[in-house]
Amino acid sequence: MRKRLIAFLLILAAGLLLPPSRAEGEGPVTIHAASAVVMSGTGDVIFDFKGDTRRLIASTTKLMTALVTLEHASPEETVPIPPACAAVEGSSMYLKAGAVYTVRELLEGLLLASGNDAALALACHVAGSAEDFAALMNEKAQALGMTGSHFANPHGLDDPAHYGTARDLAVLMAACLENDTLASLLAERSAVVGEQTYINHNKLLSLCPGCLGGKTGYTEAAGRCLVSCCEREGTRLICVTLGDPDDWADHQELYNWAFARYSTRRVSESLSFSVPVLGGQAERIRVGAEEAAFFLPRSAEVTLVAHLPRFVFAPVQEGEAAGRAEVFCNGEKIGEMALFYAETVEEAA
């Protein structure tokens, strides 16, 4: 079986991308956030308004809490709840001291109900204390390249040493979606744990076509914070707004703007190359390409230039290397694809 390589590239050449936006009427779209970012699923920022400004991030913190938890604990592990974890200020999944929950149940309360009690219970289960768990969170942030973020607790309650950036949270969301368990939890509309039913606070799951999930957050000091992901027609985008009083509408506006202007193009699907065959049972042999997709402006013109032999001697086996194809966008090279023979041609009898 041929190995398939999926390569997503964003073209940063001048003129291909629109300039960064400003809030309240300047730039390509109007938003109300203190900072915002829209990022492709592969890490290329196509909208940036103060995306590197450090701000309080409230319960969007719990994305990191969930990710670190799943890297250190199985969803089916059981967690006894100590009294200290059943009395945490702010939003709660209403844990009962002395009760036993699975890690998955606590994650559902963490992500759907934004339970601060669940965050503390998971932190203590994984690391023994909130402080030691925060150290794991910061190690993970460093590994992901989240240079503008620092974590002081697992729940996101205000702390001068607890902050992040819109860009960093987009990177974090991308990492969360790579974890299948976490991705499925973020997409849940509701969950039943014991006698409690939790409804996902993320209204975009029903408001925004293609929404795959995300995380809300709010404190009086941080304002409304929202991280989300949306996929339409094979193109995945991540949106983050911090300090945004109209975040539901702004995320939909940003997604509509971005999807209207960018798409993922699978250029390998349009190949029609072939090579003459000498001494074979067929006169020509079809050529295929490794699967390749490029995240590009919809207006961009994409062309392919193949580098293939003038002819090939039979026999030729399907899957053998044939050459390479250069991919150009608006006349500028953006990548290459390996070419292979797409069929077998035996020697002539």
User: Which residues are CB-contacts of 220 (< 8 A; sequence separation ≥ 6)?
Assistant: none
Neighbour tally for 330: CB within 10 Å:
16
Q: How many Å apart are CA 109 and CA 112, to the nearest integer? A: 6
Instruction: Decide if 35 contacts 43 (C-beta within 8 A).
Output: no
Catalytic pick from 21, 40, 59, 228?
59
- Number of CB atoms found within 10 A of residue 14's CB: 5
Q: Confirm whether 62 is a catalytic residue.
A: yes
In tens digits, the chain (349 residues) has pLDDT values of: 333 333 323 322 222 333 333 443 335 788 999 999 999 987 889 999 999 999 999 999 999 999 999 999 999 999 999 999 998 999 999 999 999 999 999 999 999 999 999 999 999 999 999 999 999 999 999 999 999 999 999 999 999 999 999 999 999 999 999 999 999 999 999 999 998 999 999 999 999 999 999 999 999 999 999 999 999 999 999 999 999 999 999 999 999 999 999 999 888 776 789 999 999 999 999 999 988 888 999 999 998 999 999 999 999 999 999 999 999 999 899 999 999 999 999 999 8
What is the C-alpha to C-alpha distance for residues 195 and 151, in angstroms, rounded to an integer? 32
Which pLDDT score, from 0 to 100, does residue 213 have? 97
At residue 44's C-alpha, the angle toward residues 171 and 340, to 5°, is 115
Q: Which of 21, 35, 114, 263 is catalytic?
A: 114
Q: What's residue 325's pLDDT?
A: 93
* Tokens read off for 308: 């293939």
Q: What is the DSSP letter of 161?
A: T
Q: Which domains does the chain show, CATH number per domain?
A: 52-212 (3.40.710.10), 271-341 (2.60.410.10)
Alpha helices in the chain (DSSP H): 62-72, 103-111, 116-127, 130-144, 166-177, 180-187, 204-207, 247-261
User: Which is catalytic among the residues 62, 91, 215, 228?
Assistant: 62
